[in-house]
Amino acid sequence: MERLQKVIANAGVTSRRKAEKLIQEGKVTVNGKVVTELGVKVSGAERIEVEGIQLTKEEHRYFLFYKPRGTVSAVTDDKGRTTVADYFTDIPERLYPVGRLDYDTSGLLLMTNDGDFANLLMHPKNEVSKTYIARIKGIPEREVIRELERGVVIDGRKTAPAKVKVRSSDKAKDKAIVEITIHEGRNRQVRKMFEAVGFEVQKLAREEYSFLNLRGLNAGERRELSHHEVKQLKTEARFGKNKK
């Protein structure tokens, strides 16, 4: 017997967190009965429907996607904007993003229909590294870099230690390109970290996710992860080098 939200996530409908929300909103039925409690367990033999669509088990798929700027990290958007799902209309499985990138942020985003995989990578305790390249207004001094590395307070809570280095700077244009590696996934975290030390991020891209990078891809393109890459990501999330 497994929790209902886990069964839904494993079927590739959505992430476990979103499945929990759908249950609480009364959008899930088991054998025709609406279920709103998160503690319900099922065997998998029941007729389970999510928003009126019966659950069927899908083969797990894993993609690395180069998300363009101006794209929503969601399956649907009530404002009619382009979503990451629009780039996967030829894939029969129902994919959704692992975490998210802001609308104006481009770069590496994982897409899957494996709820356990998504939940494992997104859980804060698993500290999967993510490297961003930020173009900022102004040129940060060494002490500012150290402050970012030690952690700054955003939304009332201090960020975890980060790795930061200035890749290049242009005094004439008063701009710098900064590389920053974090292990958290808080909302607009990188932009807020720079704001906390007095710098505006003009452009932001996620260049790496763990050992993965965007080499060989252009914005809007994708590639399927190999079995070895999926296994390596799971191993890092469970037993990674960043854990204490």
- Residue 63, CA distances (Å) to 5, 10, 68 in order: 23, 16, 15
C-beta separation of 197 from 136 below 8 A? no
3-state secondary structure of 153: strand
**Could you say which of 77, 78, 86, 102 is catalytic?**
102
For the chain, report the end-to-end CA distance as a whole number of angstroms: 33
In DSSP notation, 160-199 reads PP-EEEEEEEETTTTEEEEEEEES---TTHHHHHHHHTT-
102 is catalytic: yes
Structure-block tokens of residue 9 = 């996530």
Query: Residues 6 or more apart from 173 whose CB is under 8 A from it?
Result: none
Strand 105-112 and strand 200-209: pairing?
Answer: parallel
Q: Which of 68, 12, 13, 4 is nearest to 39 (CA)?
A: 4
As annotated, the active-site residues are: 102
